[in-house]
A and B are shown apart, each in its own frame.
Chain A
Amino acid sequence: MASLDYAYRRLVNTLGPERVARSEFERMVYSHDFASLPKIALLQWKLYPDFVALPQTTEEVAALVKLSDESLLQITPRGGGTGWYGGSVPNRGGVMVDMRKMNHVVAFDPDGRTVTVEAGATWKDLEDFVESKGFALPIVPVNAIGSTVGGAINTGSTGFGAPRGGSLRDAIARLLVVLPDGSLLKTASDSDADGQLANLTPLFFGAEGTLGIIAEATLRVVPKPESSKAIAYAFPSLAASARFLKEIVESALVPFHAALASRDHFIFERALRPDSPDPSDVALVAVQGSKDEVADQERTVDGLAAKENGAKLVPALADQLWRDRYNNYSARRLSRGLVTSYNLIPVSRLPEAVDRAVEIRDKLKLNGAVQAFLVDSTTAALVPYVLMDDTRPSGGTALGFVKRMGDAAFKMNGHSMGLGLFLVFNLRKMHGRATSFISAVKVVFDPRKKINGGKTLEVWTKYPWPGLRAIPPPGMAVGLEIAAVLRRAKPTRDRFVRAYERGKEE
């Protein structure tokens, strides 16, 4: 391996000194993603990158990838860092490639209804651009403000608009990817050829940056709807709001979006912003179509909500909830950290699933809230979160919640989302005997494990020595299970918000 100073010089020669960082502070910023990690994690992983590189062009990304053949440093691509599983943090240092300077719209084709954008653009910026042209994105990932185009594709994200707009995978016309050998690959034909002409795009959907670095994405856009409306209801219980979402699917209605948030979420919001809605179990539905259709859909949704004793909120409140839809985790400011568990579960089991999430949270004596939304006619995303303070000794034990929630999702014939560095033990649970097929993909594209190695399929440590170089994935599961047990044994509940605690004591 070349010395770090030599590697630094080569990086500076490629990008210039202003786009290569190696200071302690900058490296620290890149040592975690949205999830907070206890300091003990540094014992097994070198989470601080050796260098942070900020390329501005696809050619520069290719040059960085080729440079790693000289330096033998690992490459870790990173978008907005809004993931939760360590997919975009290093495990053995190396070069962190922050894609956020590649954030331009490359081409917009109103006739072909596509937009080509660099991978580091955020979804919110892209949405604003597309809307300024009279179009809309069929689906926008949940963390649209911070999440980048490449990041969401790499995590196999779902989001707003999925019931109507379909999967994000189907919204991708093609990708331009820098492969581990530094060459470029278009993952699908330039024409709209369906899955024909060898479409490799799905392989990169959810790949967590382990097959190559997505440099550009060509995405489908849809015409702006003639009319749209957000409608919100307060329900007597969380289960009732979940039954309401299930009824929407049963009624053959195809809303643009349908989501629920538990009362606890609004308690946290109220603690941060006095003008936030009164705490209650709320469902938010967005419908689109012609004016007549929107009115008809609203009547139908009203009828479904009434069956579950849902009280319609005033339009101004529904509009406010819709405007704030991308701010899901403000509660993080109450506790310094927050852990989210992202799961897909069958719609038919959504009422059971939300109850189970509350039960797990309460058993682990955590503060948290439950959010869920419809993905398609069979699938709902269940996204509960809990607050944690990783500066306290017990803080890290909150990570046990993610393990328990994932297990619950599998029991309900669903699955947790994301593998990254921390949840690799779920791979075999997800795919069973097909795991070897999945692993074959990495072997074909990146046999030397240059790009984001030691993640998704296996867990590398920072130690290169045999016997210590990797953690068997079940070992990670045991670690998180111990965290859950310790959490449960903790004699006191966390106390971040008084109103929340009062609610639990009542």
Chain B
Amino acid sequence: MGLLRDWHYIEKAVQIPALSEVIRETLIRALFVRDDRVLPKDLIADLNRVPPVTVKVKDDGEVRKLVRVLNGEESTVSLGLSAEDYHYFRTQLGVGRTREFGVVVRPRTLLTYDWIVPEQRGVQLDFTGYAGIEFGDAHRAIAQVGATWKQLFDDGLTKGHLVPFVPTVPLDFAIGDGLYGDAPFASYRGEFASHVNALRTISPFGHRARLGFEEVANNGTAYDLLHATVPLAAEFFIPVAVALRLEAKPAARKTLTYAYDDGSKLAVALDKLSRTSQTPAWVHVTDAVASKILRPASAAEPFAVQVSIGGTASGMAAKEKAIDAAMAGFTSKNGEVPNPFDVPAAAYRKTADTVTRSLFVGEVRLPAKSVGDFVAKTRAFGDQSAAKAGIYASLRATGTVSSFPFFAAPKDRSKVYDLSKGVRAIAAKTPGAVFTSRLAHLWEEEAHFMRRMAFLRALKLTIDTAHVVQPLVSP
């Protein structure tokens, strides 16, 4: 259940004489869809294994104790389980035999799909109940990994803070899903990692270890391991809480909604907006399919762009005027259309339930000016594949659009794989675009990328010498 684990597994698999003849991409497909015509049965059984024990975490002390038990520093007695649970735990894990046990963290909500190689014989941690949020006197919060983004956003506003990052696809993510899942948190000015000041973690030896600084930025303190590992944090240590940098809640906030009838006009407007000195909180783009899901009561335009701005009451008019000028080419503009985030929690979850029915393949990052072309190609591909396509996207100040194409199709692994391949092909033909899904990482064979992955693997093995945090697995 992690990039390094999957990558390592595939690297090892291609070295197996019987599998070395198989083209890497074919092997990845076979592993992903569990193809028993290509792979031996015992290997398929390994891939279909589920962690035998799930622990619902209530306190990080439990995690510390559990890690010590799993890395052999303490006995299962010290877990303090009831007699029944004690025997269940030992039997399920096969404690007493000479085996390594791993511990993995289960994301609350997955946008795309699970990793290829599951935890083989260890413990899965469920942080759903570990969901406290602590706001400081300054504009920061320490959120336990199980806290939902929506809870953080709403509580922050109540206490005078603005949570600067929002999910590009509005699902009911936990904050931890940005660390060990695939939650697409971002703001106009930065990615999720740029809003993370520190992580509270449990080390592979069961110690509490803090990466970064909870109250200030992490500059000039030797290697910035925090930001290098944010998307893979749970493969190096067990993150239990995140110190987040928030902003002051502006005196006035407004969401401007612009409609476009043409992808090329949309692309020009997005590119132009990112070339101004405007700093909206976020800029989200939806096509007609996505707009219909988010706002079923409204008539869906071919494209809609929502721009969230904030500032002093007196300065809002100037901001709006500047953004209107940049967004030229729109067919209509509305300042009253609600955005997906500033709604009651129940309504947000209801929308999320609808959004999650679609099949997502991952993120395509591309220059703003290529958006129209990309959406048209994705739609055509969806129609060819009998899976109607749509798109959620967000714009960055860098001029890059982070897009999440989705399809109306059943979520079976073969379909996911085939659609992913199609989207990858479209991204490859779009200048400046890159497909960054989990599968795309495994497909990538560029020499520098392979070297970077090898360094990350070596780093993981050096930090986790106990082989307890999502230990690497070979076929």
Contacts and interface: CB of A to CB of B under 8 A. Distances in A.
B416 to A, nearest CB: 18
Interface stretch (B67-75, B105-113, B212-220, B288-296): B212-220
A166 B194 contact: yes
Residue among B207, B248, B402 having the largest count of chain A Cβ atoms under 10 Å = B248
B149 to A, nearest CB: 18
A198 B194 contact: no
Given A226-B276, A444-B455, A167 B219 contact: yes
Interface in A372-427: 375-379, 413-415, 417-419, 427
Contact of B315 (A112, A211, A300): A300
A107 interface: no
A193 B434 contact: yes
6 smallest CB-CB distances across A and B, nearest first, come from A417-B220, A292-B318, A191-B434, A296-B315, A202-B227, A196-B436
Interface in B5-43: none
Given A185-B452, A378-B197, A166 B190 contact: yes
Interface in A160-199: 164, 166-170, 185-189, 191-199
Interface in A224-278: 225-226, 249-254
A345 B452 contact: no
Nearest to A112: B432
A104 B250 CA distance: 42
A220 B321 CA distance: 27
A197 B219 contact: no
29 contacts: A111-B432, A157-B219, A166-B194, A185-B451, A186-B452, A187-B452, A194-B365, A197-B449, A202-B226, A203-B223, A211-B223, A251-B312, A290-B321, A292-B321, A296-B312, A348-B138, A375-B216, A375-B219, A413-B213, A414-B215, A417-B219, A419-B220, A419-B222, A432-B209, A433-B209, A434-B201, A437-B237, A444-B458, A444-B459
Contact of B210 (A192, A296, A432, A456): A432
Contact of A441 (B207, B315, B459): B459
Contacts of B379: none
Contacts of A146: none
B207 A223 contact: no
A495 interface: no
A12 interface: no
Given A113-B398, A185-B451, A186-B448, A346 B221 contact: no
A461 interface: no
Nearest to A443: B462
A417 B221 contact: yes
Interface in A35-81: none
Interface string B256-294: 000000000000000000011111000000000000000
A194 B402 contact: yes
Contacts of A191: 365, 432-434
A226 B217 CA distance: 29
A155 B138 contact: no
Contact of A296 (B318, B402, B434): B318
B100 interface: no
A456 B214 CA distance: 22
A479 to B, nearest CB: 21
B217 A344 contact: yes
A316 interface: no
Given A166-B189, A290-B277, A252 B224 contact: no
Interface in A93-113: 111-113
B456 A200 contact: yes
Given A202-B227, A378-B140, A293 B319 contact: yes
Contacts of B275: 223
A226 B326 CA distance: 12
A431 interface: yes
A454 interface: no
Q: B interface, how many residues as a size bin?
A: 35 or more
B162 A252 contact: yes
A85 to B, nearest CB: 9
Contacts of A195: 191, 193, 227, 230-231
B224 A378 contact: no
A170 B190 contact: yes
Given A195-B231, A378-B138, A417-B220, A249 B213 contact: no
Contact of B248 (A222, A251, A346): A251
A207 B456 contact: no
B217 A378 contact: yes
A373 to B, nearest CB: 13
Given A195-B231, A197-B444, A377-B246, A206 B434 contact: no
B322 interface: yes
A123 interface: no
A500 interface: no
A196 B441 contact: yes
Interface residues of A, number: 92
B245 A376 contact: yes
Given A225-B277, A437-B236, 6 more contacts: A166-B189, A223-B275, A289-B278, A290-B276, A346-B215, A438-B225
A438 B197 CA distance: 16
Contacts of B455: 200, 444-445
A377 B227 contact: no
B453 interface: yes
A414 B315 contact: no
B400 to A, nearest CB: 5
A308 B432 CA distance: 49
Contacts of A345: 216
Between B218, B248, B399, the greatest number of chain A beta carbons within 10 A of the residue's beta carbon is seen for B218
Contacts of B245: 376-378
B225 A290 contact: no
A433 B203 contact: yes
Contacts of B276: 223, 226, 290
A252 B225 contact: no
A437 B436 CA distance: 27
A167 B228 contact: no
Interface in A283-331: 288-290, 292-293, 295-297, 299-300
Contacts of A30: none
A41 B236 CA distance: 39
Contact of B463 (A187, A192, A413, A437): A437
Contacts of A347: 138
A378 B139 contact: yes
A434 B210 contact: yes
Contacts of A168: 219
A189 B427 CA distance: 15
A415 B212 CA distance: 10
Nearest to A222: B397
B217 to A, nearest CB: 4
Contact of B217 (A113, A211, A376, A441): A376
Contact of B216 (A166, A253, A346, A427): A346
Contact of B194 (A164, A167, A253, A457): A167
A116 interface: no
B125 interface: no
A206 B448 contact: no
Contacts of A4: none
